[in-house]
Amino acid sequence: MELKNAVAGSLLATCMFSLSTQAATELEVSSWKGAGAEVANFPLIIERFEEKYPDIKVKLNYMARNDMVTSIPARMQAGNPPDVVMVDAEFILHWGGNGQLMPLNDQAYVERVQPHLKRFLGLGDDIYYSMLQVSGMGVYVNDDLFRQAGVESYPNTIDELVGACKAFNDKGIQPLLMAANNGGWTPYVYFLAMALADSDTPNPTRIDDFVSGEKKFADDQAMKNAFEGFRAMINADCFDPMVSAGTDPWSVALTTFQSGRVAMLPQGMWNITPFSNDQLPENFSLHPFPVINGSKPVVMDYNGPGWAIPKDSGQVEAAKKWIDFWMTDENLKEYLTADTSITTLQGGTSGVPSLAAPYEDARTAGQVVTFPVGSIPADLGAEMPHDITSFMLDPDQDYNAILARWDKLVEKELN
Amino acid sequence: MDGITIKSKVESVDSSSNSKLASIFCMRNIKQGSMIFLMSAVTLILLSPVIYMVFMSFRSRREIMMEPLALPTKFHFSNYLNVIADMNYLGTVMNTVGVTVVTIILVSILSSLAAYPLARLRSKVSSLVYVFFLLGMVIPPFAALTPLYLFIRDLGLLDTYAALVIVYTVGHLPLGVFFYTSFMKAIPKELEEAATLDGASPLKIYWYVIFPMLKPITGTLAIFITLGVWNDVVNPLLFITTNEKLTIMPAVLRFLGTYSVDPTKLFPAAVLASLPLLVVFFALSKQIVNGMTAGAVK
């Protein structure tokens, strides 16, 4: 009798266990953040999510962004994608444009997003993702080297920058590094900051006018001035074009700045955390870009990644819960603090420390342009960094020819 | 007098030949010395990235940032301990070794079986089949990703080691057929004829006569397969979704962020990932060299 009871009990326990395990939903999330070099407080947020939804188990599938380009499309085409994928504007353009992502217009989080960011959440009228962060690019400043060179205030304009460069050079300090290896990222960003800021409060989406064909690059004085700005910086020895062209912005440029070998480094806001962790340089701050078309410096917004649901996701409801969970200030701020970036939520908490106050002040004052990722034609996006780097190496060339070439690429895309 | 002259002549001949010999030896020494110096310099240049990687793996992040090219002043073994825990080192190595070994066995048996008739039969059909096999080597791997994914999904093998073994085996079969066919053509037919006279069937001839002779070329093929499996990132990321089943390279690349690099993790991870391969290559260096030089001299 006891044996029978024991067998019945264990059978019942087994059934209960199997029922409970069957009830658990496994949510597969593919992301290029959350592990390895970019943990970004994911373990804490996942733990909170699983506490709130005990029937959902998160399976984080971490891979580098470039690897997502190859592996996720294959899974989407096979109708077996992850339940949630991390995307950015470029992925939205490709996957959203190909109908691989689920529209999220009816989701509650959409109303919580800052109004000026809503237009970046999808394509046309369709909303495809929940943007987690606005990151940005500015100029890192080694405050000690500034003091050493006697430069008391940060330059707001290219003219002031040229003056500062002279002071640095007189003291034997390299003023700036325009690291351009592997695709010309830094000169591209710096050029766009100068060219898109056509006034002290520029339209953050001015690039759209060029992409739609409404404006011509070749006719735009601000674009021409940006090339002149580059020329002025080179003539004033603000940076060494040859050294800059051979420097990788993601590794060597960072070590060069951190070791105190250069006074200014244009880079992304995401480097605040590693710089602070290393306590190198000992005193640094993040500033906006000096401008050529006005008198107030500008920052460049970089609309960050977020979550999207593939149309063939097997766990749509759990995926929607995941997205909604992230898009609450309580949870999002944990991520933003770790990734030192700006909130996308109305009244949300950003994770930017005080050393980036000059950057934030400029942004709050409307001195901001937007990095055009995913919003310009692919050919143009590939051509511009190379042309700008080429100009950096040969500043005597006629920039009107470059601008005319960009117009042709836009025309080609429109036709 | 004559005796003295002869003696002095002999002595002078001796001394001149000695000085000639000495100068030849001296020349040879200089030649040899400069060759050794040149080869050492080339070796040092070739190995410098590896040496740099090993030194960097023991340094703190702050030290690397301050002096990227300096030698370590203190060995931070904690870098290794952190990485071993973070990347589930033992697990990923065992996964990779398991997948590699099974793939090598399958590719060497299947492709040598396919190559045997192709090497022996002289007909248009066999030539066509051979070309058909070789076509597999020119298909861009990325073009095959989606069909392969569908195939593995339909077999119900997603997120299993079997998926990786199948994909790698299929991917390396054309290379195996190419290697074995060329090698088997050089094996004298007389050996098979002797076995036939002893009453052996074609399969027995293959197994007892041909297959044992394929050792050197199998060693070379095994190197290609090992490197292919070890360095692959795309297939594990596509077919494996459970972290514990990942192979080594995706685990290493986790430490390479999209916009930043943590050298205290990336360098030790790279050293740890290459370590098993180095051990294998040193242990099997003789066989590897034999395989590479097989067929070079007839």
CA distance A55 to A43: 18
Cβ contacts of B256 on chain A, cutoff 8 Å: 36-37, 64
Of residues A39, A21, A22, A19, the one with CA closest to residue A31? A39
Query: What DSSP assignment string belongs to A284-327?
Result: EEEEPBPBSSSSS-BEEEEE--EEE-BTT-S-HHHHHHHHHHHT
Torsion angle of C-alpha atoms B184, B186, B187, B188, degrees rounded to 10: 140
Q: Which amino acid is at A412?
A: K
Asked whether residue A8 is domain-assigned, the answer is: no
Give chain A's domain count: 2
Looking at residue B102, its pLDDT comes to: 98
CA distance A319 to A309: 7
C-beta atoms of A252 and B68 within 8 A: yes
CA distance B261 to A38: 9
Same domain, A288 and A321: no
Phi, psi of A212 (to 5 degrees): -80, -10
Dmax over CA atoms of chain A, in Å, equals: 98
Distance from CA of A2 to the nearest CA of B (A): 41
Asked whether residue A16 is domain-assigned, the answer is: no
**DSSP type of residue A261:** S
Q: Which two tokens stand for residue A260?
A: 């105190």
Q: Does the beta carbon of B260 lie under 8 angstroms from any beta carbon of chain A? A: yes
Asked whether residue A9 is domain-assigned, the answer is: no
Specify the CATH number for the domain of residue A77: 3.40.190.10
Q: How many helices (H) and strands (E) does chain B have?
A: 15, 0
CB A290 within 8 A of CB A153: no
pLDDT digits (tens, 9 = 90+) for B169-202: 999 999 999 999 999 999 999 999 999 999 999 9
Looking at residue B241, its pLDDT comes to: 92
Looking at residue A4, its pLDDT comes to: 56
Same domain, A179 and A250: yes
Same domain, A84 and A228: no
3-class SS of residue B261: strand
Asked whether residue A148 is domain-assigned, the answer is: yes
Q: How many helices (H) and strands (E) does chain A have?
A: 19, 13
For residue A267, the chain B residue with the least C-alpha distance is: B259
CA distance between the termini of chain A: 84
pLDDT digits (tens, 9 = 90+) for A76-114: 999 999 999 999 999 999 999 999 999 999 999 999 999
CA distance A197 to A342: 21
Asked whether residue A4 is domain-assigned, the answer is: no
Cβ contacts of B247 on chain A, cutoff 8 Å: none
Interface confidence (ipTM) of the complex: 0.81
Same domain, A172 and A141: yes
Looking at residue A8, its pLDDT comes to: 54
Same domain, A42 and A178: no
Same domain, A62 and A143: no
Cβ contacts of B234 on chain A, cutoff 8 Å: 67, 70-71
Distance from CA of A36 to the nearest CA of B (A): 5
pLDDT in tens, chain A (415 residues): 454 555 555 545 544 444 444 448 999 999 999 988 788 999 999 999 999 999 999 999 999 888 899 899 999 999 999 999 999 999 999 999 999 999 999 999 999 999 999 999 999 999 999 999 999 999 999 999 999 999 999 999 999 999 999 999 999 999 999 999 988 999 999 999 999 999 998 998 899 999 999 999 999 999 999 999 999 999 999 999 999 999 999 889 999 999 999 999 999 999 998 899 888 999 999 999 999 999 999 999 999 999 999 999 999 999 999 999 999 999 999 999 999 999 999 999 999 999 999 999 999 999 999 999 888 998 999 999 999 999 999 999 999 999 999 999 999 999 8
Q: Which of residues 196-225 of A touch B (CB under 8 A)?
A: none
CA distance A192 to A288: 13
Asked whether residue A350 is domain-assigned, the answer is: no
Q: Which two tokens stand for residue B33?
A: 């010395």
Same domain, A110 and A143: no
Q: Does the beta carbon of B261 lie under 8 angstroms from any beta carbon of chain A? A: yes
CB A76 within 8 A of CB A310: yes
Looking at residue B292, its pLDDT comes to: 65
CA distance B41 to A95: 51
CA distance A35 to A41: 9
Same domain, A367 and A295: yes
CA distance A281 to A279: 6
Same domain, A322 and A382: no
CB neighbours of B41 closer than 8 A, spacing ≥ 6? none
- Domain extent at residue A187: 135-302+362-414
CB A206 within 8 A of CB A372: no
Helix (H) / strand (E) containing A26: strand A25-31
Residues of chain B short of pLDDT 70, as ranges, are: 1-17, 291-298
Same domain, A53 and A69: yes
Cβ contacts of B68 on chain A, cutoff 8 Å: 252, 255, 259
CB neighbours of A166 closer than 8 A, spacing ≥ 6? A236
State the helix-helix crossing angle for A221-235 and A399-414, rounded to 10 degrees: 140
Same domain, A278 and A405: yes
**DSSP type of residue B209:** I
Looking at residue A171, its pLDDT comes to: 97
For residue A27, the chain B residue with the least C-alpha distance is: B241
Asked whether residue A351 is domain-assigned, the answer is: no
Looking at residue A17, its pLDDT comes to: 45
Q: Which two tokens stand for residue A8?
A: 């019945």
Same domain, A116 and A95: yes
Q: Which two tokens stand for residue B71?
A: 């030698």
CA distance A371 to A136: 8
Asked whether residue A39 is domain-assigned, the answer is: yes
Looking at residue A126, its pLDDT comes to: 96
Q: Which two tokens stand for residue B224?
A: 């290609």
Q: Which two tokens stand for residue A274?
A: 């590693």
CB A232 within 8 A of CB A391: no
